[in-house]
Structure 1
Amino acid sequence: MVTEDKVAENKIPRDDLDDYSESIIKTRQQYFEKFSGSKINHVGKYSIDPQQLQGNIEHFIGVAQVPIGMAGPFTINGEHAQGEFMIPLATTEGTLVASYNRGMKLLNMSGGVKSTVVDDAMQRAPVFVFEDARGARDFVQWVKNNFETIKAEAESTTSVGKLTYIDNFLSNKFAFLRFNFKTGDAAGQNMVGRATFAACGWILDHYQGVKNFYLESNFATDKKASHINIMRTRGKRVTAEATIKREHLLQVMRVDPKQIDYHGRVAGVGSFLSGVNNTGLHSPNGITAMFIATGQDVANVSESSAAILYSELTDEGDLYLSITIPSLIVATHGGGTGIGTQRECLELLGCYGKGTVYKFAEIVAAVVLAGEISLASAISSSDWVSSHEQYGRNR
């Protein structure tokens, strides 16, 4: 029989007055040690001020330390990111930093990478349930007719978020609405949730016939890979592209542009057969390493993993390579971006604070392209396994 005393004994210690004080953190560490039978050593060593973590974590006991390596300098020719950048990558995967560094070296020789943010949208997708399909159809038309008022209601909750449009999708007797916002320098999931809730409150007060309503229908595909994000954008849609000289590929990568282009077409068949959301090789490697280093919500790698890689041979025999990331969810303000090492890494890139999120998105996309050309070259020239044998986990 479990007694109340036993339940209390197994309850994680908290301090309702100050749950981020050194004393309560120490108490929780001791509780964890007693519960697990293991000692806290590295986890309990940190330089950040726990008082600054309110809103970022609960039941704080310490930190997870992930090694950070540097790659670069890297030349980026964006509309917002212009110049040379040193790139922080947080990872425990051997060869990853070296591979990205090699790709950057190659791209620098051909003038760097052109990066462009082409779209920006963050969603919340409520669903309205009706008596029948006609009721759902008529409701969607009413929403279209009242968009400006709905927009005003949504934007009354935020000084930053802007409702740009509402997609509608009808199925059975359901009306799925996908509210699309611009969210400034924040990733914006919570922001658009509040704004959409306010807008839906006005809708429910002014439209008769709604039988049921849910603020989220799973159609925004929050933290899930989906085809609609590839087609319609979630976060930032950004493209990185470069034309790589044949002689540089031969010099640095020991591979001919024709080899990479042909390998890409063969791999495209493999992508189609497997049903993946990415025709490239490993864009989540660079994205995840940058996300951890800069305080992004790492779960958003799920959406951000989608990518469309394209290559062609120029008349001069060089290689044009382009990658589009249709749902890159990044922030340079709010969330985890202001914490200790994460803020420092963003500051290193000149991307901390308001007005820098497009710059950061352009940098991430350029880094992804460097990783793609490096791994594609390694596979095409059969250097892939030997590199891991020398530098990676097989050493």
Structure 2
Amino acid sequence: MAKIPRSSENDYTDAMSQTRRTFLQQETGAALSHLGHYSIAPHTLAGNIENFTGVAQVPVGFAGPMRVNGECAKGEFYVPMATTEGTLVASYSRGMRLTREAGGITTTVIDDAMQRAPMFAFTNAREAMDFGKWVEQQFDNIKVASDATTSVGRLRNIEQYAVSKLRWLRFNFTCGDAAGQNMVSKATKAGCEWILAHYPKKIDHFVLSANLDTDKKHSHLNSLHTRGKRVVAEITLPKQLMTDIMHCPPEALFKQRQYSNMGALLAGSVNNGAHFANGITAMFIACGQDVANVAESSAGFTYAEITPNGDYYFSVTIPSLVVATYGGGTGLATQNECLNVLGCTGKGNVNKFAEIVAATVLCGDLSLGSAVVADEWVSSHERLGRNR
């Protein structure tokens, strides 16, 4: 088959995108009449995509307003959601109405770390153990070498994991407003180069990554130790308000929560909630996040209690929410507009965005859980979610 056309000098232009569309139409016979309609300036896409040919248009709706009482996110927000699933935006808006009338959602970012986990191999386990002790002693020097590669990334600590004669070093960084995967790869490489140059004994083999960092895939290690932001969103809902808006009293929703906990346990699920991935994915697409990070970010925990006066305490914890307000796709035209609606552009807003995402997830889980209990789940999808 023929190669896709590209230009070494002017590849990010309207002309080159048209050239590629024409080429693909000729090669495949498929019409590409919609792919070429876009408002993004092609020259802004360098570093975001190769062989730029057009834009996939995903509908965006806004849910809300949602009231958040966070450390960083304070006030009411209209939440952009890019999706093709009918009922989704309406369901999240319903949860936002309930939580707004209850006084708002409290949100807290309780941990922050992005990783790269190089692996070192030795002749035997004792040599690997000696290496681990040496790394602990040399942390300050390794940190200097790593931090020198970035203006905002900072090495926080190094975890160690041993199997046989192998030793993984899990470098944990804070990354400012960036998600940081590329940043920490460069920084970890520099730290490892310092190790390789200064360790006085033999290292049989070294590789910069060997799957312990679990980039773009979930792991229980992330649930325990955090990847990206670890965020909690929580609220106490008055009994009467739940019954009036959700047609579902706290006792019924709490009972369903126990059934759902058991079902998640039986299935071996990484999440005992209803649908974290729905809200996270819709916000990620709208706001220029790396959507593959939903693999880690959609894992999580829900927890509920009936209070002594009969109200409903509910929380969601997202242990590995990988988000950014700088870099990647966040600076592209439509994505930056959506971030701006949330007030999350500019320096120092990544935790604010993380709190808004977590609050949105809470609203979605409350709404869907209540719909299941009130037997409104199927009827709402029949009314709003079928594209006949």
- Answer whether TM exceeds 0.5 for this pair: yes
Q: Secondary structure at the match of 2:318?
A: strand
Residue 21 of structure 1: aligned partner: 13
Q: Which amino acid aligns with 2:45?
A: L
Note the residue ranges of structure 1 that are not aligned, 5 or more in a row. 1-6
* TM-score, normalisation: structure 2: 0.99
Give the partner amino acid of 2:41.
D
Aligned equivalent of 2:349 = 356
5+ residue gaps in structure 2?
none
- SS of 1:344's equivalent? helix
User: Which residue of structure 2 lines up, in the alignment, with residue 340 of structure 1?
Assistant: 333
Pairing 1:34–2:26 present: yes
TM-score, L = length of structure 1: 0.97
Matches within 5 A, 1:241-320: 241-320=234-313
For residues 228-276 of structure 1, what are the alpha-carbon distances to aligned partners after superposition, in whole Å with 9 as ceiling and x for unaligned? Answer: 0000000000000000011111101111100111110111111111111
* Runs of 4+ in structure 1 over 4 Å off: none
Separation (CA, whole Å) in 2 of partners of 1:26 and 1:234: 40
Which of 369, 381, 388 does residue 388 from structure 1 map onto?
381
Give the letter for the 1:385 counterpart: V
Equivalences, count? 387
Name which of 144, 156, 166 aligns with 1:164.
156
Q: Contact conserved, 1:76 with 1:366, CA < 8 A, in 2?
A: yes
Of 229, 234, 255 in structure 2, the residue corresponding to residue 236 of structure 1 is 229
Matched, 1:122 2:114: yes
Cα deviation digits, residues 255-314 of structure 1 (max 9, x gap): 110011111011111111111110101011000000000000000000001111000001
AA of the residue aligned to 1:43: L
- Cα–Cα, structure 1 residues 394 and 383, in superposed 2: closer, same or farther, change >3 Å? farther
> What corresponds to 1:328 in structure 2?
321
| Secondary structure, aligned partner of 2:361 | helix
Counterparts of 1:371-386 in structure 2 under 5 Å? Answer: 371-386=364-379
- The one-letter amino acid paired with 1:146 is Q
Query: Offset of 1:126 from its aligned partner?
Result: 0.3
Q: Secondary structure at the match of 2:319?
A: strand
* C-alpha separation in 1, matches of 2:133 and 2:71: 38
Rounded to whole Å, the distance in 2 between the matches of 1:290 and 1:24 is 30
**Matching residue of 1:109:** 101
Note the C-alpha offset of 1:354. 1.7
Query: Helix, strand or coil: the match of 2:222?
Result: helix
| SS of match in other structure, 2:23 | helix
Q: CA-to-partner distance for each residue in 1:357-388, whole Å, 9 max, x for gaps?
A: 00000000000000010001001111111111
Partner of 1:194: 186
Write the distance in 1 (CA, Å) between the matches of 2:202 and 2:346. 45
Q: Per-residue displacement from partner, 1:192-217 (whole Å, max 9, x unpaired)? A: 00000000001011112100010001
1:219 partner amino acid: L
Partner of 1:177: 169
What SS does the corresponding residue of 1:239 show, helix, strand or coil? strand
1:140 is the counterpart of 2:129: no
Q: Structure 1, residues 87-132: CA drift from partner, whole Å, max 9, x if none?
A: 1100000100000000000001110100000000000000000000
Deviation, 1:389, is 1.0
Query: Is the Cα contact below 8 Å between 1:388 and 1:394 reproduced in 2?
Result: no
Q: Does the aligned pair in 2 maintain the 1:140–1:175 contact within 8 Å?
A: yes
* Percent identity of equivalent pairs: 55
| Residue identity opposite 2:314 in structure 1 | L
Whole-angstrom distance in 2 between the partners of 1:82 and 1:21: 41
Shift of 1:22: 2.2
Give the Cα–Cα distance (whole angstroms) in 2 for the partners of residues 245 and 367 of structure 1.
19
